[in-house]
Amino acid sequence: MTNKKNRISLSVIVLAVLVLISVLLPLPYYIETPGSAENINEYVRVDNRENTHPGAYYLTTVAIQRGTPLSLAMAKFLPFREIISKEELMGESDDQDYERISQYEMDSSENMAKKVAFDLAKKKYSFQFQGVYVMGVMKDSSFYNQLATGDIVYQIDNFKPQSSKEFIDYIKAKKVKDQITVHYKRDGQTNQVSGPLILLGEPKRPGIGITLADKTQIKTKEQVDFLTEEIGGPSGGLMFTLELYEILSGEDLRQGRQVAGTGTIEEDGKVGSIGGIDKKIVAADKAGASIFFAPSEPINPELKKMYPDLLTNYEEAKRAGKKIKTKMKIVPVSNIQEAMDYLKESK
C-alpha cells in the first residue's frame, strides 16, 4: 500500500514538473501576436500642448513574447500568431543590443517625424548630423570588442563626416590594412580606438566591419516631446507625423475619426514598409478604428522573383482585413501627402 502511494506521489510530482516545464521553460523562439492600438495623443506634446481635435490617431503595435513548449504548441493553432527564431528576430544581437537598436529606431522615427511635420507646417528647424550610429560589429573586424552597438562615431582620423555616405567614401578611399583612428561617444563619454581596415565584400572593398546608420537630431524653437519610453521600433513614423502636424498647424485633418496606421517615415515624406501588419490590422479593428493607412511600397523585383508569394504591406493588410471581416477602410499610402490628401478629401 505504501509503495503504491509512493508511486502515485512520484507520478504527480513528475506530471507537475512536466507541466511547469511546458509553461515556464523559455525556448530560442518568439511568438508575434496582435498588440495594441495606442492613442498617440497620449505620447506627443509641443510646448506641453496636445492635439485637442476630436477623434484620434492610433499607433499600432505587435506583441512579442518568448516561446515556451506550451505557448509554441498553442500558437500553431491560433490565428495571427507567427513563430520566429531568436536569430530571425535579433540576428547576431543579444537581448541588450536588440533593445538598443529598437530604441534607436524609435528615436530615429520620432526625429524624422519632426522634420517632415515641421516641413509641412512651414516651421523652422535646424538639422544636425551627430555621427554614425553603430548597429553591430563583425566578429572579424579589428574593432570587435572595442566598438559596440549604440556607439556614435563622430570622427575618423582628423575627418568629421557630415553623413554616413561621407563616412563610407572616406573609408573606401583607403586600402586594406591601413591604420585608422575611430573617435566615438558611448554613454556621453568620448573615446578613441585604432586598428587596421579589413577586406569586405561584395563588392570587395576596405572597411571597418560595422553595420551603421545616420544619427541625426532636429532642433526646434518649440519643445517637442515624445513620451514613448515603453515602445520601440521604427513603424510609428507616419502616425507620429500626422499627429505632430495637426498640433503645429492647427489643421483638423481627422475630423473626429478614429485613424490607425503604420509605416516608417523618411525625410522626404516617403512611407516605408514594416513587419507584422496583419497583426496591426487586428489591433486597430479591436480599437474601433474606421481608417487604416498601410504602406504601399512596392516589392523589389529581384526579391519578388525569389519569393513570388511575397505581398506588399497593403496587400497583406487587405488580406488580414478580409479574414476578420473588418469594416475599416484600408488605405494604401506611399507618402505622407497621400495620407493627408485622403483625410481632406474623405471628410
Nearest by Cα to 62 from 279, 237, 281, 273: 279
| Average per-residue pLDDT for the chain | 91
Nearest by Cα to 239 from 270, 268, 261: 261
In this prediction, residues 312-321 reach a mean pLDDT of 98
Strands 29-39 and 82-85: antiparallel
What pLDDT does 44 receive? 95
Evaluate if residue 74 carries a pLDDT over 80. yes
What pLDDT does 229 receive? 78
The span from the CA of 158 to the CA of 274, in Å, is 38
**235 assigned to active site:** yes
User: pLDDT tens across 270-312, in order?
Assistant: 999 999 999 999 999 999 999 999 999 999 999 889 999 999 9
242 touches 253 (CB < 8 A): yes
In this prediction, residues 56-78 reach a mean pLDDT of 90
Pick the CATH number of 127-217 from 3.30.460.10, 3.40.50.620, 2.30.42.10, 3.30.430.20: 2.30.42.10
Evaluate if residue 2 carries a pLDDT over 80. no
278 touches 284 (CB < 8 A): no
User: pLDDT grade, residue 149 (50/70/90)?
Assistant: very high
Q: Active site residue: 235, 279, 296, 318, which one?
A: 235
Evaluate if residue 17 carries a pLDDT over 60. no
Query: Does the domain spanning 33-125+220-345 belong to CATH 3.30.230?
Result: yes
What pLDDT does 344 receive? 96
Least confident window among 69-83, 119-133, 259-273: 69-83
Evaluate if residue 12 carries a pLDDT over 70. no
Q: Active site residue: 114, 270, 279, 280, which one?
A: 280
User: pLDDT tens across 169-193, in order?
Assistant: 999 999 999 999 999 999 999 999 9
What are the domain boundaries of the chain? 33-125+220-345, 127-217
The span from the CA of 182 to the CA of 153, in Å, is 7
The span from the CA of 32 to the CA of 323, in Å, is 18
The span from the CA of 335 to the CA of 294, in Å, is 10
Nearest by Cα to 117 from 220, 231, 246: 246
What pLDDT does 20 receive? 59
Query: Which contiguous run of DSSP H or E holds residue 5?
Result: helix 2-24
What pLDDT does 43 receive? 93
The span from the CA of 218 to the CA of 220, in Å, is 7
> Which cell goes with 336?
505622407
Query: Which contiguous run of DSSP H or E holds residue 113?
Result: helix 95-120
**280 assigned to active site:** yes
Rounded to two decimals, the pTM is: 0.88
User: pLDDT grade, residue 79 (50/70/90)?
Assistant: very high
Nearest by Cα to 53 from 343, 332, 345, 346: 343
Strand partners, 58: 39, 260
What pLDDT does 28 receive? 85
What pLDDT does 202 receive? 75
What pLDDT does 328 receive? 98
Give how far the C-alpha of residue 62 lies from the chain's centroid of Cα atoms, to the nearest Å. Answer: 11
- Report the percentage of the chain scoring pLDDT > 90: 76
Evaluate if residue 201 carries a pLDDT over 90. no
